[in-house]
Amino acid sequence: MKHEWIKVFSPATIGNIGPGFDVLGLAVKGWGDTVEARRAPAGVVISAITSAQPLSKDPRRNTAGIAAKLILDLLGVKGGLELKLRKGLPIGSGLGSSAASAAAGAFAANYLYHGGLTKEQLILPATKAEETVSGGFFADNTAPALLGGATLTRSCVPLDITRIGSIRKLHIVLVTPNIVVLTRHARQILPASVPMKDFVYNMANTALITAAFAKNDYSLFARSLHDVVVEPVRAHLIKGFAQVKEAALQAGADGVAISGSGPTVFAITDNIRKARFIEQQMVMAFIEHGVKSRSIVTSVDAEGTRLID
Amino acid sequence: MKHEWIKVFSPATIGNIGPGFDVLGLAVKGWGDTVEARRAPAGVVISAITSAQPLSKDPRRNTAGIAAKLILDLLGVKGGLELKLRKGLPIGSGLGSSAASAAAGAFAANYLYHGGLTKEQLILPATKAEETVSGGFFADNTAPALLGGATLTRSCVPLDITRIGSIRKLHIVLVTPNIVVLTRHARQILPASVPMKDFVYNMANTALITAAFAKNDYSLFARSLHDVVVEPVRAHLIKGFAQVKEAALQAGADGVAISGSGPTVFAITDNIRKARFIEQQMVMAFIEHGVKSRSIVTSVDAEGTRLID
């Protein structure tokens, strides 16, 4: 019984949701990281990693391992954990890859040792684990990865998170081009200040997106996915971004934005057939710039990190 | 039948709701402007004004008259209107005084001539009427005055307004000190740009206030009434503001902010007895600075501009 394996899935997340820089985050279905875990005598061991990219098995350098260890320490248990990590999310994709691993690791440790911590209580350790690797303390991926749906980070220190809700009619096209964007660099190029007019505009859009998820209202979301603060300075990090955005809008998307710090780009629609066409057109537009990509048509993951199988 | 009087009430409104500069607005009960109106042969005539402050009866210089005229023109009717205006709202108080008159005037004209315009459709003419007098085109008072509850202005040109909702448990303490703040001046002193950190903080609070009104959740609102962008530069326009705010918080308020461009200050609580104590303490704190004030304990006006009696 003690050595039974469990399997935990944690979804991909879209940081910012366009204008809501460092405030909003959204969990999406289909892509994510999986952690298999069982009790072990002591310490945290990562016995296997399945990943398209090279990744250290050192549990102190992997967010799943770090988060699991933080939970064990928090619970004060003497036992340890063995983890097997399957990375469904490419690293540095703007889909919250390290956050998903952290969320899954924290969830597994709490579950196996009957810690009784709520998902809300797992956000802080998961965010700390992510910080160790990313260098920044931000919950806009860990919070939605754990809670599901759209989340709002009012403050990181102290951590103040609210789950806003979901939009059932929403179809999301995710396109991850084969481009490397370093989050650290994507933050460094941000302006130190924002013109008053742009401040008001992004704030209004972010508030409307919040209302949209709180009321499960697609049409509100459809008219508010506009970011005039961060996208203009980050767009050039993604080769072909302007044309990919234009292709999505031409194909009928109601909005297009960068996921987190990129390079993943996402588009929205409430029509599944349109979604497939938008996906095609976006992938083609990247190809025209000599960029290969991986894509999916998906929807909101309202559940967040969970046991599977 | 043609010459029967109707009576229209339009409530006071809190522009910005703290951090949501030029985005959020909220209608409150108790205080407001009343327009009595009946059909007249041609043109708009203001036959009486009851107001604590001197106010022109020239219908081209009064927002109720201007808005009524805009509606008559919009409907293409040949008849006119006679209006009697009772100003419940002091001018330049930060409670949307000119917006309330404009909303009531527009509503009355549409009603008496069976115009069939929705309240949403009255926002644009009412906002234009207010602009004639205030010099600025902003819907954060006209929109909530007409629609009731909290509203979100995503854009003024083109006008894009969403009614967010209400919070039933919310008690609002309004204190209007006997101080003159010119909206024009209150806008001139605003900074041209906002530090990135403050942008994110105000945006997060505004999004959380939006979620609070969308979900009818007082506790979300209670933790998000913080404005680090506009309040710091406008506070000094209101003599004693820092002490009045401190007095309200000491008395148990969950948040305090400036209403619109001031000088009205408002505090929030979900406890009616606390509300009366907060009111007392705020009025006292103003008195200690030699400032008289007018005050009320009120709540959200979820209905907006309407026929009364």
Does residue B99 sit in the same domain as residue B209? no
Cβ partners under 8 Å of residue A290, min gap 6? A239
Identify all chain B residues contacting A152, using CB atoms and an 8 Å cutoff. 204, 207-208, 211
Does residue A288 sit in the same domain as residue A266? yes
Whether A13 sits among the annotated catalytic residues: the reply is no
Identify all chain B residues contacting A201, using CB atoms and an 8 Å cutoff. 155
Confirm whether A1 is domain-assigned: no
Identify all chain A residues contacting B190, using CB atoms and an 8 Å cutoff. 196
Tell me if B191 and A195 make a contact (CB, 8 A cut-off). Answer: no
Q: pLDDT tens digits, residue range B180-223?
A: 888 888 889 999 999 999 999 999 999 999 999 999 999 999 99
Q: How far is A136 from chain B (nearest CA, A)?
A: 14
Interface test with B, best of A138, A154, A220, A227 (most B CBs within 10 A): A154
Does residue A15 sit in the same domain as residue A119? yes
For residues B198, B200, B203, B204, the Cα torsion angle rounded to the nearest 10 degrees is -120
Does residue B135 sit in the same domain as residue B186? no
Confirm whether B111 is domain-assigned: yes
Tell me if A202 and B203 make a contact (CB, 8 A cut-off). Answer: yes
Asked if the C-beta of B189 comes within 8 angstroms of chain A's C-beta atoms, the answer is: no
Identify all chain A residues contacting B212, using CB atoms and an 8 Å cutoff. none
The catalytic site residues of B sit at: 130, 183
Cβ partners under 8 Å of residue B46, min gap 6? B57, B58, B59, B62, B64, B65, B82, B83, B84, B85
Q: What is the CATH number of the domain that holds B198?
A: 3.30.70.890
Considering CB atoms only, which of A162, A164, A203 is closest to B206?
A203
pLDDT for res B14: 98
Q: How far is B265 from chain A (nearest CA, A)?
A: 22
Asked if the C-beta of A74 comes within 8 angstroms of chain B's C-beta atoms, the answer is: no
pLDDT for res A151: 98
Does residue A22 sit in the same domain as residue A111? yes
Count of domains observed in chain B: 2
Q: pLDDT tens digits, residue range A233-283?
A: 999 999 999 999 999 999 999 999 999 999 999 999 999 999 999 999 999
Tell me if B192 and A190 make a contact (CB, 8 A cut-off). Answer: no
Does residue B160 sit in the same domain as residue B14? yes
Confirm whether B1 is domain-assigned: no
pLDDT for res A279: 98
Q: What is the CATH number of the domain that holds B86?
A: 3.30.230.10
User: What is the domain range of residue B122?
Assistant: 6-165+302-308
Considering CB atoms only, which of B23, B191, B220 is closest to A203?
B23
Identify all chain B residues contacting A199, using CB atoms and an 8 Å cutoff. 21, 193-194, 199, 202-203, 229
Does residue B77 sit in the same domain as residue B181? no
Mean pLDDT rounded to a whole number for chain A: 95
Asked if the C-beta of B233 comes within 8 angstroms of chain A's C-beta atoms, the answer is: no
Does residue A145 sit in the same domain as residue A10? yes
Does residue A156 sit in the same domain as residue A107? yes
Q: How far is B284 from chain A (nearest CA, A)?
A: 33
Confirm whether B77 is domain-assigned: yes
Identify all chain B residues contacting A22, using CB atoms and an 8 Å cutoff. 200, 204
Q: pLDDT tens digits, residue range B32-76?
A: 999 999 999 989 999 999 998 888 899 999 999 999 999 999 999
pLDDT for res A2: 52
**Of A82, A130, A131, A231, which one is the catalytic site residue?**
A130
Tell me if B211 and A162 make a contact (CB, 8 A cut-off). Answer: yes
Q: How far is B206 from chain A (nearest CA, A)?
A: 6
pLDDT in tens, chain A (309 residues): 456 999 999 999 999 999 999 999 999 999 999 999 999 998 999 999 999 888 889 999 999 999 999 999 999 998 999 999 999 999 889 999 999 999 999 999 999 999 999 999 999 999 999 998 887 888 999 999 999 999 999 988 889 999 999 999 999 999 999 998 888 888 899 999 999 999 999 999 999 999 999 999 999 999 999 999 999 999 999 999 999 999 999 999 999 999 999 999 999 999 999 999 999 999 999 999 999 999 999 999 999 999 998
Does residue B142 sit in the same domain as residue B177? no
Enter the pTM of the model: 0.94
A-proximal residues of B, 145-174, CB under 8 Å:
152-155, 160, 162, 164
Confirm whether A249 is domain-assigned: yes
Tell me if B199 and A199 make a contact (CB, 8 A cut-off). Answer: yes
3-state secondary structure chain A: CCCCCEEEEEEEEEECCCCCCCCEEEEEEEEEEEEEEEEECCCEEEEEEECCCCCCCCCCCCHHHHHHHHHHHHHCCCCEEEEEEECCCCCCCCCCHHHHHHHHHHHHHHHHCCCCCCHHHHHHHHHHHHHHHHCCCCCCCHHHHHHCCEEEEEECCCCEEEEEECCCCCEEEEEEECCCCCHHHHHHCCCCEEEHHHHHHHHHHHHHHHHHHHHCCHHHHHCCCCCCCCHHHHHHHCCCHHHHHHHHHHCCCCEEEECCCCCCEEEEECCHHHHHHHHHHHHHHHHHCCCCEEEEEECECCCCCEECC
Count how many pairs of residues, chain A against chain B, have C-beta atoms within 8 Å: 117
Asked if the C-beta of A203 comes within 8 angstroms of chain B's C-beta atoms, the answer is: yes
Confirm whether A96 is domain-assigned: yes
Asked if the C-beta of B188 comes within 8 angstroms of chain A's C-beta atoms, the answer is: no
Confirm whether A223 is domain-assigned: yes
Does residue B161 sit in the same domain as residue B186? no
pLDDT for res A134: 81
Helix ranges, chain B (H): 63-75, 97-112, 119-134, 142-147, 183-188, 196-215, 218-222, 231-234, 241-250, 272-288
Does residue B204 sit in the same domain as residue B287? yes
Tell me if B207 and A210 make a contact (CB, 8 A cut-off). Answer: yes
pLDDT > 70 in chain A, percent: 99
Residue ranges of chain B with per-residue pLDDT less than 70: 1-3
Tell me if A211 and B215 make a contact (CB, 8 A cut-off). Answer: no
Asked if the C-beta of A228 comes within 8 angstroms of chain B's C-beta atoms, the answer is: no
